[in-house]
Protein backbone atom coordinates (compact mmCIF):
# COMPACT_ATOMS: atom_id res chain seq x y z
CA UNK A 1 0.00 0.00 0.00
CA UNK A 2 2.83 2.34 0.76
CA UNK A 3 4.18 1.79 -2.73
CA UNK A 4 0.90 2.80 -4.30
CA UNK A 5 0.82 5.98 -2.25
CA UNK A 6 4.40 6.76 -3.23
CA UNK A 7 3.57 6.36 -6.93
CA UNK A 8 0.51 8.62 -6.57
CA UNK A 9 2.59 11.38 -4.96
CA UNK A 10 5.16 11.24 -7.72
CA UNK A 11 2.37 11.31 -10.27
CA UNK A 12 0.85 14.42 -8.74
CA UNK A 13 4.22 16.19 -8.82
CA UNK A 14 4.52 15.63 -12.52
CA UNK A 15 0.99 16.94 -13.21
CA UNK A 16 2.07 20.53 -13.07
CA UNK A 17 5.13 20.10 -15.30
CA UNK A 18 4.73 20.90 -18.96
CA UNK A 19 6.59 18.58 -21.27
CA UNK A 20 7.43 19.56 -24.75
CA UNK A 21 6.68 16.12 -26.12
CA UNK A 22 3.03 16.41 -25.19
CA UNK A 23 2.67 19.34 -27.53
CA UNK A 24 4.32 17.29 -30.25
CA UNK A 25 1.59 14.67 -30.18
CA UNK A 26 2.41 12.16 -27.47
CA UNK A 27 -0.74 12.07 -25.28
CA UNK A 28 0.85 9.99 -22.54
CA UNK A 29 3.16 12.93 -21.81
CA UNK A 30 0.34 15.44 -21.75
CA UNK A 31 -0.37 16.42 -18.12
CA UNK A 32 -4.08 16.47 -18.73
CA UNK A 33 -4.13 12.70 -19.19
CA UNK A 34 -1.83 11.89 -16.28
CA UNK A 35 -4.62 11.57 -13.75
CA UNK A 36 -6.45 8.89 -15.69
CA UNK A 37 -3.16 7.17 -16.51
CA UNK A 38 -2.19 7.17 -12.82
CA UNK A 39 -5.63 5.79 -11.92
CA UNK A 40 -5.34 2.92 -14.41
CA UNK A 41 -1.74 2.31 -13.46
CA UNK A 42 -2.65 2.07 -9.77
CA UNK A 43 -5.70 -0.07 -10.55
CA UNK A 44 -3.73 -2.41 -12.86
CA UNK A 45 -0.86 -2.93 -10.39
CA UNK A 46 -3.28 -3.31 -7.45
CA UNK A 47 -5.27 -5.96 -9.33
CA UNK A 48 -2.03 -7.60 -10.49
CA UNK A 49 -0.68 -7.54 -6.92
CA UNK A 50 -3.91 -9.04 -5.55
CA UNK A 51 -3.98 -11.74 -8.28
CA UNK A 52 -0.36 -12.67 -7.71
CA UNK A 53 -0.53 -12.60 -3.90
CA UNK A 54 -3.96 -14.21 -3.43
CA UNK A 55 -4.19 -16.66 -6.34
CA UNK A 56 -0.87 -17.47 -8.05
CA UNK A 57 1.49 -17.45 -5.07
CA UNK A 58 -0.77 -19.79 -2.98
CA UNK A 59 -1.06 -22.14 -5.98
CA UNK A 60 2.71 -22.10 -6.45
CA UNK A 61 3.25 -22.54 -2.71
CA UNK A 62 0.71 -25.38 -2.67
CA UNK A 63 2.44 -26.99 -5.65
CA UNK A 64 5.83 -26.65 -3.94
CA UNK A 65 4.42 -28.06 -0.68
CA UNK A 66 2.81 -30.92 -2.57
CA UNK A 67 6.09 -31.63 -4.37
CA UNK A 68 8.03 -31.50 -1.08
CA UNK A 69 5.52 -33.86 0.55
CA UNK A 70 5.70 -36.19 -2.45
CA UNK A 71 9.50 -36.12 -2.36
CA UNK A 72 9.48 -36.70 1.41
CA UNK A 73 7.01 -39.57 1.01
CA UNK A 74 9.08 -41.03 -1.83
CA UNK A 75 12.24 -40.76 0.28
CA UNK A 76 10.47 -42.41 3.23
CA UNK A 77 9.19 -45.14 0.95
CA UNK A 78 12.65 -45.57 -0.61
CA UNK A 79 14.20 -45.79 2.87
CA UNK A 80 11.55 -48.32 3.90
CA UNK A 81 12.16 -50.32 0.70
CA UNK A 82 15.92 -50.11 1.28
CA UNK A 83 15.44 -51.38 4.83
CA UNK A 84 13.23 -54.22 3.56
CA UNK A 85 15.80 -55.03 0.87
CA UNK A 86 18.56 -55.16 3.48
CA UNK A 87 16.40 -57.46 5.60
CA UNK A 88 15.75 -59.67 2.57
CA UNK A 89 19.47 -59.71 1.75
CA UNK A 90 20.36 -60.70 5.30
CA UNK A 91 17.61 -63.34 5.21
CA UNK A 92 18.96 -64.55 1.88
CA UNK A 93 22.49 -64.74 3.27
CA UNK A 94 21.23 -66.68 6.30
CA UNK A 95 19.35 -69.06 4.01
CA UNK A 96 22.47 -69.54 1.89
CA UNK A 97 24.57 -70.23 5.01
CA UNK A 98 21.96 -72.70 6.29
CA UNK A 99 21.82 -74.36 2.88
CA UNK A 100 25.63 -74.59 2.79
CA UNK A 101 25.62 -76.16 6.26
CA UNK A 102 22.92 -78.62 5.21
CA UNK A 103 24.81 -79.50 2.04
CA UNK A 104 28.01 -80.02 4.04
CA UNK A 105 26.12 -82.19 6.51
CA UNK A 106 24.51 -84.18 3.71
CA UNK A 107 27.90 -84.59 2.00
CA UNK A 108 29.52 -85.62 5.27
CA UNK A 109 26.73 -88.11 6.05
CA UNK A 110 26.83 -89.38 2.46
CA UNK A 111 30.61 -89.79 2.56
CA UNK A 112 30.41 -91.59 5.90
CA UNK A 113 27.66 -93.86 4.57
CA UNK A 114 29.60 -94.56 1.38
CA UNK A 115 32.81 -95.19 3.35
CA UNK A 116 30.92 -97.55 5.64
CA UNK A 117 29.37 -99.39 2.69
CA UNK A 118 32.73 -99.59 0.93
CA UNK A 119 34.36 -100.89 4.09
CA UNK A 120 31.62 -103.51 4.54
CA UNK A 121 31.83 -104.57 0.90
CA UNK A 122 35.62 -104.63 1.10
CA UNK A 123 35.43 -106.84 4.20
CA UNK A 124 32.88 -109.09 2.49
CA UNK A 125 34.99 -109.34 -0.65
CA UNK A 126 38.12 -109.92 1.45
CA UNK A 127 36.35 -112.75 3.27
CA UNK A 128 35.27 -114.22 -0.05
CA UNK A 129 38.82 -113.88 -1.38
CA UNK A 130 40.22 -115.50 1.78
CA UNK A 131 37.72 -118.36 1.43
CA UNK A 132 38.62 -118.78 -2.25
CA UNK A 133 42.33 -118.74 -1.36
CA UNK A 134 41.74 -121.39 1.33
CA UNK A 135 39.75 -123.47 -1.14
CA UNK A 136 42.47 -123.07 -3.77
CA UNK A 137 45.20 -123.91 -1.24
CA UNK A 138 43.22 -126.95 -0.12
CA UNK A 139 42.71 -128.03 -3.72
CA UNK A 140 46.41 -127.50 -4.44
CA UNK A 141 47.40 -129.46 -1.32
CA UNK A 142 44.92 -132.20 -2.20
CA UNK A 143 46.26 -132.22 -5.75
CA UNK A 144 49.86 -132.39 -4.44
CA UNK A 145 48.99 -135.20 -2.06
CA UNK A 146 47.15 -137.09 -4.81
CA UNK A 147 50.05 -136.41 -7.15
CA UNK A 148 52.56 -137.62 -4.57
CA UNK A 149 50.52 -140.77 -4.11
CA UNK A 150 50.46 -141.36 -7.87
CA UNK A 151 54.15 -140.57 -8.40
CA UNK A 152 55.43 -143.97 -7.23
CA UNK A 153 53.01 -145.80 -9.48
CA UNK A 154 53.70 -143.60 -12.50
CA UNK A 155 57.46 -143.62 -11.83
CA UNK A 156 57.45 -147.39 -11.45
CA UNK A 157 55.57 -147.93 -14.71
CA UNK A 158 57.66 -145.37 -16.56
CA UNK A 159 60.93 -146.76 -15.23
CA UNK A 160 59.90 -150.29 -16.13
CA UNK A 161 59.04 -149.22 -19.68
CA UNK A 162 62.26 -147.25 -20.10
CA UNK A 163 64.39 -150.14 -18.83
CA UNK A 164 62.46 -152.60 -20.99
CA UNK A 165 62.97 -150.38 -24.04
CA UNK A 166 66.67 -149.94 -23.31
CA UNK A 167 67.58 -153.43 -22.17
CA UNK A 168 64.74 -155.49 -23.55
CA UNK A 169 64.19 -157.29 -20.23
CA UNK A 170 61.79 -156.56 -17.42
CA UNK A 171 62.96 -155.70 -13.97
CA UNK A 172 61.63 -156.92 -10.70
CA UNK A 173 58.75 -154.63 -9.88
CA UNK A 174 59.35 -154.73 -6.12
CA UNK A 175 62.96 -153.62 -6.39
CA UNK A 176 61.94 -150.74 -8.68
CA UNK A 177 59.19 -149.72 -6.23
CA UNK A 178 61.66 -149.83 -3.34
CA UNK A 179 64.21 -147.66 -5.15
CA UNK A 180 61.53 -145.15 -6.14
CA UNK A 181 60.11 -145.10 -2.56
CA UNK A 182 63.56 -144.41 -1.06
CA UNK A 183 64.23 -141.67 -3.62
CA UNK A 184 60.84 -140.07 -2.87
CA UNK A 185 61.53 -140.08 0.87
CA UNK A 186 64.81 -138.28 0.31
CA UNK A 187 63.34 -135.68 -2.11
CA UNK A 188 59.79 -135.44 -0.74
CA UNK A 189 60.45 -132.02 0.79
CA UNK A 190 61.46 -130.66 -2.62
CA UNK A 191 58.09 -131.58 -4.04
CA UNK A 192 56.11 -130.09 -1.19
CA distance 122 to 92: 43
Q: Can you give the three-state secondary structure of 73-126, one letter per residue?
A: HHHHHHHHHHHHHHHHHHHHHHHHHHHHHHHHHHHHHHHHHHHHHHHHHHHHHH
Residues 41 and 55: beta-carbon distance below 8 Å: no
| Helix, strand or coil, per DSSP, at residue 52 | helix
Structural domain containing residue 173:
148-191
Cα distances from 183 to residues 136, 150, 188, in angstroms, run 29, 14, 8
The answer to whether position 24 is within a domain reads no
Residues 14 and 34: beta-carbon distance below 8 Å: yes
Residues 10 and 44: beta-carbon distance below 8 Å: no
pLDDT digit of tens for each residue in the chain (192 aa)?
667 767 667 766 665 554 444 455 676 777 787 888 889 999 999 999 999 999 999 999 999 999 999 999 999 999 999 999 999 999 999 999 999 999 999 999 989 999 999 999 989 999 999 999 988 888 888 887 777 777 777 777 777 777 777 777 776 777 767 777 777 777 666 655
pLDDT for the residue numbered 21: 46
The answer to whether position 167 is within a domain reads yes
pLDDT for the residue numbered 20: 46
The answer to whether position 163 is within a domain reads yes
CA geometry: angle 29, 30, 31, nearest 5 deg:
110
Residues 59 and 71: beta-carbon distance below 8 Å: no
Exposure string over 10-30, b if 16+ CB within 10 A, otherwise e: ebeeeeeeeeeebeeeeeebe
What's the domain count of the chain? 1
The answer to whether position 183 is within a domain reads yes
The answer to whether position 177 is within a domain reads yes
Q: What is the dihedral of CA 113, 118, 123, 126, to 10 degrees?
A: 180
The answer to whether position 87 is within a domain reads no
pLDDT for the residue numbered 89: 92
pLDDT for the residue numbered 142: 82
The answer to whether position 85 is within a domain reads no
pLDDT for the residue numbered 80: 93
pLDDT for the residue numbered 97: 92
The answer to whether position 35 is within a domain reads no
CA distance 31 to 181: 173
Amino acid sequence: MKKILFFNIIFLLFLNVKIMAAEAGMPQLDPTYWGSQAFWLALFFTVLYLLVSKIYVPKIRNSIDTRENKIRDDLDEAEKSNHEAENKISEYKKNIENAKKQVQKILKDGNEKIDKEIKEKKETIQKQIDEEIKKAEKEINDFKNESLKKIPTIASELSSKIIYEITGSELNKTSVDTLIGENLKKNKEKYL
